[in-house]
Amino acid sequence: MNPALVLLALLASVAAQSQDHYDMGWVNGYRQGFNFQCPHGEVIVAIRSYFSENDGSDRLWSFECQPTPAGLGEPSDCWWDDINRAGMEWTSTCTRNGLVAGVQSKYFESTLDREWQFYCCFYKRRCPYSCMKTTDIPEYYKEEAELVVPSYGYFIRGAQTTFSGVLRDRQWKYILCRMTDFDCEFDNL
């Protein structure tokens, strides 16, 4: 086979792979704010992001939702929780035992980072238990990142993030919990 044709085929393949991230149903463009909310009665179960240093050291974001189990009932209240500032490390868990059903974010050129806010929903008086944090997502800064809730019955309640001022990227540890099948009268943060 002609070596020039092999090289051309290889370059075409690499070029196609580098563009794969454009077809993922992103909710934002680079350096653009976004507001994503699941339909009523659904929560976020998957998060994907793609980093680009050339586009403001920013990420494209994609989210997937799933209905909550019938045993949880309908959410009785939903709200935007506290804003988490750009350029800082932070931990945020939905107040009032809420589950994450949306995210909004605004990009800041001055820090090459975003501020974040979770949209939380409260389900009767259900309480979280068996909570855990994921490992760092992405494992290394500037990598593609993906979280899929590992097991039905676990829900995203919040996140802890670290921000690298040198690399201008974040790593996330998502807070996942199960919810009781019975009513409880306390906040379990």
Q: Count the neighbouring beta carbons within 10 Å of the beta carbon of residue 162.
A: 14
- Lowest pLDDT segment from 24-28, 52-56, 121-125: 121-125
pLDDT digits (tens, 9 = 90+) for 132-170: 999 999 999 999 999 999 888 899 999 999 999 999 999
Q: Give me 122's structure tokens.
A: 């409260």
The per-residue b/e assignment along 64-91, b for 16 or more CB within 10 angstroms, e otherwise, is ebeebeeebeebeebeebeebebeeebe
User: Which pLDDT value is given to residue 7?
Assistant: 33
DSSP-derived letter for residue 53 is: T
- Lowest pLDDT segment from 5-9, 34-38, 89-93, 105-109: 5-9
Q: Which helix (H) or strand (E) holds 12?
A: helix 3-18
Question: Does 16 have pLDDT greater than 50?
Answer: no
- Lowest pLDDT segment from 20-34, 75-89, 104-118, 140-154: 20-34
* Nearest alpha-carbon partner for 148 in 160, 134, 127: 134
Question: Does 47 have pLDDT greater than 50?
Answer: yes
User: Which pLDDT value is given to residue 24?
Assistant: 74
* Nearest alpha-carbon partner for 98 in 73, 116, 77, 129: 77
**Alpha-carbon distances of 146 from 25, 92, 136, rounded to whole Å:** 14, 19, 10
* Nearest alpha-carbon partner for 175 in 70, 98, 72: 98
Amino acid found at 181:
D
pTM: 0.86
Give one DSSP letter per residue of 74-96, joined into a string. S-SEEEEEEEE-TTS-EEEE-GG
User: Which pLDDT value is given to residue 9?
Assistant: 38
Whole-number mean pLDDT of the chain?
A: 87
Is residue 183 very low, low, confident or very high in pLDDT (cuts 50, 70, 90)? confident
Contact 45, 51 (CB under 8 A): no
Of the chain, the percentage scoring pLDDT greater than 70 comes to 86
* Nearest alpha-carbon partner for 83 in 67, 100, 104, 66: 104
